[in-house]
Amino acid sequence: MIEVLLVRTSLSRLAPGLASRPAAATLLAIAVAAVGLGPAASPAAAATIPAGAGSYTDSRPAGTSGPTTNTGAPVTPKLTTAARDKPVPTNDWWSSLAYQRYGDNPYSTPMYGHPLTYQAKASGLEVGYPTTPAIVGDGRQYEYAHKADLTVGLSGLNSPDTKADAWSDWTVTPYWADGSRTFRATIGHGMPFVYAKGSGGDARITTASTPSVFSDDGNVLGITVAGHHYALFAPTGSDWNVSGTAITAGLGSKDYFSLAVLPSTDALATYRKYAFSFVTGSQVAWQSTGGTVKATYSLTTEAKEGTERGTLQALYRHQWLHTTDALTPYTYVSPRGTMKVRESASFTTSQKNNGVVPALPASSGVDKARLAGYLNEVANASDPFSGAADTYWTGKALGRLAQLVPVADQIGETATRDKLLGLMKGRLQEWFTAGGASEFSYDKDWKTLTGYPASYGSDTELNDHHFHYSYYVYAAAIIAQYDQAWAADSAWGTMIKHLIRDTANPSRTDSAYPFLRGFDVYAGHSWASGHQGFAAGNNQESSSESINLSAGLVLWGAATGDNNLRDLGSFLLTTESEAITQYWFDASQQVFPASFGHDTVGMVWGSGGAYSTWWTANPEEIHGINVLPVTGGSLHLAREKAAIKRNIAEMERENGGPAQEWRDLLWQFESLSDPAAAKAKWDGVNGNYTPEQGESKAHTYHWINTLNTVGAPDMTVSGDLPTSAVFSKDGTRTYTAHNHGSTARTVTFSDGKTLSVPARSTATSTGPGGSGPDPEEPGPSTGNTFRLKSGGVLTTATTDPAGTDTVASADGVNRDGTPYRPTVYEVKKVNGKVASGTATAFRLRVDAGTKVGLAPQVRISYDLTGDGTFDRAETFRYFATDPVNGWEEYTQASGAQATTGSLGELKNGTVRLEIWNALGNGTSQVQTGTDAAVLKIPYV
């Protein structure tokens, strides 16, 4: 045990990117393997494959390993014959179907599709719907762990293993065969259905406890198990038979059946409609134009009976926050907060593009002489790579140098710039040439490119490729900005494209690499483990290193003229940014369970999240691991400035004071919200500290002092060029953009500002606008005025962007006084005492366009203790809108229609505003994010 503790101590200093490792008991073995003493293979004579000026091998270097089981035995993908030649997307939510990490488990570990969870076993597929979180690990982790409500399969099925048979962007079909029976089940993210096909036996559902039947209509059976409602659908003409915990139905000449988890028993009729519309595939399509990123998520279906080809999909929070598509009233519980159901085979999201810039703009706040001195410290160091040998630490060193190149160029230090570029080129070329001490090797079984020396399981577990290679892609993009010939395919660009294809391949037809290996397009973020061999599902720790890859794609695509790769980077970054905001930082405070006592997590798991890292419990690293590396791709974090302030405050509480070890990272993080506070901390140390190993004093000094001068990023404004950004201070906005192209162009920003940018140059200008310094956000315990924020949030923040939400149609029925498909806004953890002589007040702007006879109506409800029961409800008279385009103001002056319950002291309470259309047959709009979208409660 002493040896293990020593290894953990060393890893805490050496592994800020460590992710996806097994439990602490195996850290010693991992550390040994990482330095080349682990299990080794005996590769055949390696062939060298040319790639432009570079090369890689098709066989591992002597003494190294590829993917193995936990005992060190080599392992190949667990696929059916039909799938054998298809590149398998390791690092997915279902990877344990294909990667048998544990030799005694040939089926799978728990897989978290949401709302359903799954685990393969000999008799079929376990299915669960966890709805109650558990707080574990001394309060440091919350989880909605898989627990089987039922198992779906065939009578007598006893398969020796489960293989992956087919997959698409977010669905997978596992396969069972025992010699007499075959069974397939298509499952996926957001899918309330399991679509089953089998031969050789009857359909069989085995429940975890004796079910209660709430509906029996022959081939359609409604049951309740463990408090969860399911519908079972056998082919027409069949009949379900219930005997204890066994439920069977003969399939006759058919080979299909399905089941669905229901949000309520009265949803059975709706779900029955789609029972035989079997999902056969899933695909996302993205587009980045005019400063907006749009994505359409589509399912393909097959009608097993009848002609219905539609379906039902449950959208994650990061999706429904950004769609205007109609949603049903149905919802599900998940570790990512409420999922909302759409009745359609597709939906579209739209977000402002989160820009990426090579460097922050030039500013008067930077002392050029001092900065030049810091730059020289790095450029003239005896070993600028700090002894880095493996892919991860080499990448970190490349990233550190890459951040300084445009900074040196900005202040006219061209000799230093070129020296840094030379260092980066030299090291990359070493790695990109087979046969030396470091090289890349292609594994034809797993269809992946691995760098050796490897680290942190990037070889033996296929972990973290997107983390490691992000630095190489980013560094190459900076080189390409200054030396396009170096980045040409005939030179070193082909090797960079191999790394991109390995980690973020945009092609679904590439036979050498899978589509988007680690990025889960439906979950909205990447996964780090290559085998997903954990009870909690897959995981990702350093979301920011995943963002680093997306930012690198934006810059590489822009620098090389590959707009498709540039726009892929924009899609990945913008999508993952919202996922990080919601699932790592819980910025809206609507995701983490109320019983979880943290405002951020270091790691997201399929089952939940954890306030931890793989290698240390140090709060600085728990908070900092989702910040590093700080680059021009980190600006997206500034969208939620109040969340940054909460994050820093929690770190300092948990740490017993300000950061000491990773202080530079956390200063830079804080400067995205409060540059003055960050600068005060920098000034207090005056350069007397040791930088984090991927950082430098030059970069930190430039970052903090620049933002203190131009202000924090203003994420309410976006440019129509992905390599642009806006900053705001004291009512003045600073606009910047880098034009990688060979001709001048004009960048147009969403506030109407235009900026002319010469070819291959950065341009900056200033103008009026912005909200001035970010005000301190009063906590819910002291604020009594809330703004409506798109996505169902009431917030005391005043810096959120203006927007609109859709209010659903009344569908031609009088809904006066009764909320019908309301648009709901809520704030939790509110404390306050009733203010005598005051009353609930609101001011909303609504618009019905040219629709006739609509009437928005509002209800304000108070749950005084946050126990889920609303003690007071105030329903106001509806407001009849006119059929003319333009906003109209709806306030409490319309008068109260009905009031129930009494007001009392709010103690960790909840306040809710619902708005719906009481009349009419069309949708209307309500404004959000402005002073005309306000609720004021009668509390102090």
Read off the pLDDT of residues 203-215 as tens digits, 9 standing for 90 and up: 999 999 999 999 9
Which of 260, 302, 299 lies closest to 278, judged by CA? 302
Average pLDDT over residues 401-415: 97
Q: Element (H or E) spanning 264, and its range?
A: none
Catalytic-residue membership of 576:
no
| Residue 35 pLDDT level (bands cut at 50, 70, 90) | very low
**CA separation for the pair 88, 80 (Å, rounded):** 12
DSSP-derived secondary structure letter, 900: E
Mean pLDDT check: name the lowest of 19-33, 169-183, 904-918: 19-33
Neighbours of 13 (CB within 10 A): 12
Indicate whether 483 pLDDT > 70. Answer: yes
Report the chain's mean pLDDT, rounded to a whole number: 92
Residue where the block lists tokens 């602490």:
24
Q: What is the pLDDT of residue 25?
A: 28
| Lowest-pLDDT range of 487-501, 695-709, 844-858 | 844-858
Could you please report the per-residue DSSP string of 144-164?
-----SEEEEETT---S-EEE
The model's confidence at residue 769, banded by pLDDT at 50, 70 and 90, is low
pLDDT at 632: 97
Lowest mean pLDDT among 546-550, 757-761, 878-882: 878-882
Query: pLDDT over 90 for what percent of the chain?
Result: 86
Q: 92, 409, 464, 800: which is the annotated catalytic residue?
A: 464
Tell me which amino acid residue 573 is: L
Decide if pLDDT at 835 tops 90: no
Q: How far is CA 645 from CA 276, 568, 623, in A?
A: 49, 31, 12
Which of 541, 586, 714, 777 is catalytic? The answer is: 541
Q: Which has more confidence, 531 or 779? A: 531
Residue 661 is a catalytic residue = no
What is the amino acid identity at position 476? A
- Judge whether 8 and 27 are in contact, CB under 8 Å: yes
* Cα angle, residue 86 at apex, residues 83 and 92 outer, rounded to 5°: 90
Summarize pLDDT for 218-239 with one digit per residue, the tens: 999 999 999 999 999 999 999 9
Residue bearing tokens 């997206």: 636
Which contacts qualify for 75-80: CB closer than 8 Å, 24 or more apart? Answer: 75/99, 75/100, 75/101, 76/445, 76/446, 77/164, 77/445, 77/446, 78/106, 78/161, 78/162, 78/163, 78/164, 79/163, 79/164, 79/165, 80/163, 80/164, 80/165, 80/175
Is residue 601 pLDDT above 80, yes or no? yes
* Calpha distance 120→125 (Å, rounded): 5
Our CA dihedral for 755, 758, 760, 763, rounded to 10 degrees, sits at -40
Residue 630 has pLDDT above 60, yes or no: yes
Residues 577, 585 contacting (CB under 8 angstroms): no
Distances (CA, A) of 886 to 75, 559, 843, 924: 64, 43, 16, 11
| Residue 863: strand pairing partners | 910
Span 759-788, mean pLDDT? 65
Residues paired with residue 361 on neighbouring β-strands, in sequence order? none
pLDDT band at 573 (very low <50, low <70, confident <90, very high): very high
Q: Give the strands of the sheet with 712-713, arranged side by side.
A: 712-713, 724-729, 732-739, 761-768
Catalytic residue among 165, 545, 586, 670: 545
Cross-strand pairs, 843: 891, 934
Q: Hey, what's the torsion of the CAs at 505, 510, 511, 516, to 10 degrees?
A: 20
pLDDT of residue 23: 31
Q: Residue 5: its pLDDT value, please? A: 25
- 8 A C-beta contact, residue 67 and residue 446: yes
Are 421 and 482 spatial neighbours (Cβ–Cβ below 8 Å)? yes
Q: Which helix (H) or strand (E) holds 428?
A: helix 414-431
Active site residue 308: no
Contact 688, 697 (CB under 8 A): no
**Tokens standing for residue 806:** 């859709």
Query: With 70 as the cut, is the pLDDT of residue 27 above it?
Result: no
Burial of 25 (0-12, 13-18, 19+ CB in 10 A): exposed
Q: What are phi and psi of 556, to 5 degrees?
A: -65, -45
Q: Are strands 182-188 and 793-795 parallel, antiparallel or unpaired?
A: unpaired
The tokens describing 328, both together, are 């049903």
Question: Does 144 score more than 90 pLDDT?
Answer: yes
Residue 372 — φ and ψ, nearest 5°?
A: -60, -35
Does the pLDDT value for residue 918 go beyond 60?
yes
pLDDT of residue 46: 63
The candidate with the shortest Cα–Cα distance to 788, out of 865, 890, 881, 637, is: 890
DSSP secondary-structure letter at 224?
Answer: E
Q: What local confidence, expressed as pLDDT, does residue 782 receive?
A: 32
Question: Residue 152: which of 240, 219, 232 has the closest Cα?
Answer: 232
| DSSP conformational letter for 602 | S
- Say what the pLDDT of residue 886 is: 83
- HSE at residue 112, side-chain half, CA atoms within 13 A, is 27
Average pLDDT over residues 105-132: 98
> What is the pLDDT at residue 767?
85
- The radius of gyration computed from the CA coordinates of the chain, to the nearest angstrom, equals 28
Non-local CB neighbours of 719 within 8 Å, separated by 6+ positions: 291, 353, 355, 725, 726, 735, 737, 747, 748, 749, 750, 755
Strands (DSSP E) contained in 304-438 are 312-315, 331-332, 339-343, 346-352
3-class secondary-structure state, position 393: helix
Q: Length of the chain in residues, anyone?
A: 940
- Give the containing element (helix H, strand E) for 545: helix 543-560
Pair type for strands 856-863 and 841-847: unpaired
pLDDT of residue 796: 85
* DSSP string of 6-47, one letter each residue: HHHHHHHHH-TT--S---GGGHHHHHHHHTT-S----PPPPP
pLDDT at residue 860 greater than cutoff 90: yes
